[in-house]
Amino acid sequence: MKYLKTTILIVLCACQSTQVSIPKEPEIGPLGEQAMISTAHPLATQVGVEVLKNGGNAFDAALAVKFALAVVFPRAGNIGGGGFALYRMNDGTIGSLDFREKAPKAGGRDMYLDDEGNVIDGLSTKGHKAAGVPGSVDGILKLHDKFGSKALAELIQPAINLAYYGFTITENQAMEFNEKREDFIEINGADFFLVKDEGWKNGDTIKFVELAGTLTQIRDRGRDGFYAGIVADQIVKEMQRGGGLITEEDLNAYSARWRDPVTSNYRGHKVISMPPPSSGGIAVLQLLQGAEQYNISEMGHNTAQTIHLLTELERRVYADRATYLGDPDYYDVPVDMLLDPTYNKERFSSISLKKKTDSQDIKEGEVDVIESVETTHFSIVDPDGNAVSLTTTLNSFFGCKVYVRGAGFFLNNEMDDFSSKPGVANQFGLVGGEANAIVPEKRMLSSMTPTIVEKDGKLKMVVGTPGGATIITSVFQAIMNVIDHGMSMQDAVNATRTHSQWLPDRILVEERAFDPAAIKKLEKMGHLIERREAMGRMDCILVREDGKLEGGADYSRGDNYAEGF
Ligand code: DON
């Protein structure tokens, strides 16, 4: 096993500092006898592991991790955004919580269009008007209220300490702060504290003192510490400063919703995933239903034939996504039809293993796409076998870039996940229509795909990742990597990924160690190949046949870190 070790200095609080080794590219991830946590940042993982070691359950750990990520991973960890949590209790009970942001009451179908009906560039992605009503705080508190065993005050304190006393940033984080310098200045002014003249560097210490204050409000007042009182006032004032739409009434009215997960079978496994307003669950289950009709294992991992098949499945599923999926509270999403094996058999029946189908022949549209990894996912299995799979986001890097003055956190730009105009692509190149049009208080469609797999009535895998439109295909591949290709969890995460999404008509392929012969064959079949540096940052857990838990974290694509005991 090749472990290239790097070390980073971690400051958990002013009086305590620890050295952590981060393995690079292991073939088998860390193993745990009882519990495992995998998150986007070593500090957040450690906060969660401590909770579990002190007798907390997966939901206690989820709350502690969620707030810790809001501090140590501010580009995506958040209290100003939203997300989805999927859980499976050790007795097999499953459920999910939707804490997706909502359109403000003052929002509406044409809010990003000019007088001629054209989409105004950047309005749904940057600045105050791009922000949806945040759901993260209501969501994580609801999840904890229902299933947690430890007091909120105890669980949120590590995040408060990290924010107040500071922590050292990684090289990736220094780069991200520096990259966004111009945006930070444009939106928050040249004196914004994340703008540093000499630039940020690996090992710099950063403190979020105002955020510590906001987290303290939440600690002491629960939901009202965010959606009412001083923090709500600060959000509303910030909106007024920049022409944003979120009001006190919007904040008061926000409520996360319990939803029944979607499920389907894959080669003797039960796959459980997030229902609408995420498109991710339905899309992954459709893809798996399609893949099950082929002998993927025999076709081989990342061979030209397998990539061709995945692409053909994906273009059909993303076309369905664009047409049928939206917030089920506002649009009648045909969930049963999309998950009906007979429908999918028919849907995929036009696939030929020899010939490419042009995306234009499936459905028309002209789109461009940018992939990014500004969301974050974490997976937790506790010593009792309860599992939480949670994906949360600000949408873009640091959301709409608006930092709520006095309150110390970034707001999301999730409004861009709506379809601003039918057929006009959002930043991920995703198109939509009526199903995902903007309506006051509606939730925007998502690709986030927190997923859990069980086999023979027992927990087998907890899976998820950021990556915009590529989330769905990364989760799809990770599941097949384990089930069809027999990979360890870490190998399944390390493995090179491909992605296709109906439009544009092309296959994205990660550069890392990809077989040039396979690419040539695909090009010969007429596929357009585009190379990408990295797609997704997965945090997964596998229950191995020997009963041990294996963490699979994207060490080589990000700062992701799994730890168990
Ligand atoms: O909900 C969604 O589908 C997007 N807002 C997720 C964005 C994302 O994953 C960005 N970074 N990877």
Confidence bin at 363 (pLDDT 50/70/90): low
Same-domain status, 352 and 497: yes
Is it the case that residue 124 has pLDDT exceeding 50? yes
Instruction: Of 148-162, 309-323, 425-439, give the range with the top mean pLDDT.
Output: 148-162
* Spacing, Cα 467 to ligand 1 middle (Å): 6
pTM of the prediction?
0.93
Determine contact, residues 498/507, Cβ cutoff 8 Å: yes
Does 494 lie in the same domain as 463?
A: yes
Whether residues 253 and 285 fall in one domain = no
pLDDT of 19 strictly over 80: no
Best residue among 471, 501, 539, 557 to mutate for probing ligand 1, ranked by most atoms within 8 Å of CB: 471
In which band, very low, low, confident or very high, does the pLDDT at 511 lie, cut at 50, 70 and 90?
confident
pLDDT of residue 364: 35
| Average pLDDT estimate for 401-415 | 98
Q: What is the mean pLDDT of residues 427-450?
A: 92
Length of the chain: 565
Q: How confident is the model at residue 455 (pLDDT cuts 50, 70, 90)?
A: very high
pLDDT, position 292? 98
Instruction: Judge if 252 and 229 occupy the same domain.
Output: yes
Residue 6 has pLDDT above 90, yes or no: no
DSSP per position, 223-257: THHHHSHHHHHHHHHHHHHHT----HHHHHH---E
What local confidence, expressed as pLDDT, does residue 240 receive? Answer: 97
Q: Is residue 324 part of a domain?
A: yes
Catalytic residue (one of 45, 375, 392, 451) = 375
User: Which ligand 1 atom minimizes the distance to the CA of 279?
Assistant: 3
Ligand 1 centre distance from Cα of residue 142 (Å):
22
Instruction: Compute, in angstroms, the gap from residue 431 CA to the centroid of ligand 1.
Output: 14
The whole-angstrom separation of Cα 296 and Cα 493 is 18
Identify whether residues 285 and 230 lie together within a single domain. Answer: no
Whether 263 is a known active-site residue: answer no
- For residues 442-457, average pLDDT: 98
Q: Are residues 150 and 46 in the same domain?
A: yes
What pLDDT does residue 18 have?
Answer: 37
Tens of pLDDT, residue by residue over 129-169, are 999 999 999 999 999 999 999 999 999 999 999 999 999 99
Q: Does 493 lie in the same domain as 356? A: yes
Q: Whose CA is nearest to atom 1 of ligand 1?
A: 446
Determine which of 48-57, 515-524, 545-554 has the lowest per-residue pLDDT on average: 515-524
C-alpha span between 277 and 287 (Å, rounded): 18
Examine the pLDDT at 361 and tell me if it is beyond 90: no
Q: Does 554 map to a domain?
A: no
Instruction: Please state, in angstroms and as integers, the Cα–Cα distance from residue 343 to each residue in 210, 273, 320, 337, 464, following that order.
Output: 52, 19, 12, 7, 26
| pLDDT exceeds cutoff 90 at 484 | yes
**Percent of all residues in the chain with a pLDDT value above 70, rounded to a whole number:** 93
Ligand 1 atom nearest to 396, measured from its CA: 10
Name the band, by pLDDT with cuts 50, 70 and 90, for residue 515.
Answer: confident
What order do you get walking across the sheet with 498-499 strand by strand? 498-499, 507-510, 529-532
How remote is the C-alpha of 435 from its chain's centroid? 22
| Cβ within 8 Å of residue 387, ≥6 positions away | 58, 87, 88, 379, 380, 381, 452, 459, 462, 541
Give the confidence band of 373 by pLDDT, cuts at 50, 70, 90.
low
Q: Tell me if 471 is assigned to some domain.
A: yes
Among residues 386, 384, 466, 444, the alpha carbon closest in space to that of 144 is found at 386
Q: Which of 432, 463, 482 is the last residue of a domain?
A: 432
Phi, psi angle pair for 133, to nearest 5°: -70, 120
As a 3-state breakdown, the chain gives helix, strand, coil percent values, each rounded to 5, of 35, 20, 45
pLDDT at 365: 31
Q: Are residues 217 and 266 in the same domain?
A: no
Q: Is 8 within a domain?
A: no
Atom of ligand 1 nearest to the CA of 373: 12
- Please report where in the chains the tokens 């041990």 appear, as a residue: 548
pLDDT for position 22: 46
- What's the CATH code of the domain at 490? 1.10.246.130
373 C-alpha vs ligand 1 centroid, how far in Å? 7
Residue pLDDT, tens place only, 66-105: 999 999 999 999 999 999 999 999 999 999 999 999 999 9
Give residue 243's Cα distance to chain centre: 28
Give residue 503's pLDDT band: very low, low, confident or very high (50, 70, 90).
confident
Based on the domain organization, do 344 and 492 belong to the same domain? yes
Q: What pLDDT sits at residue 358?
A: 84
Q: Which residues line ligand 1 (CB under 6 A)?
A: 372-375, 393, 395, 414, 417, 446-448, 466-468, 471
- Domain total in the chain: 2
User: Are 497 and 513 contained in the same domain?
Assistant: yes
In a domain, 148, yes or no: yes
Are both 390 and 350 inside the same structural domain? no
Tell whether 64 and 188 lie within a shared domain. Answer: yes
Domain extent for 354: 259-368+447-542
Q: How far from 522 is each of 67, 350, 363, 505, CA to CA, in Å?
A: 44, 18, 22, 13
In a domain, 313, yes or no: yes
Task: Give CA–CA dist 466/384, Å, rounded.
Answer: 27
Residue 399 pLDDT exceeds 70: yes
Report, as an integer, the average pLDDT of 457-481: 97
Asked, for residue 19, whether it belongs to a domain, the answer is: no
Residue pair 99/142 in contact (Cβ under 8 Å)? The answer is yes
Taking 50 as the threshold, does the pLDDT of residue 60 lie above it?
yes
Asked if residue 456 belongs to a domain, the reply is: yes
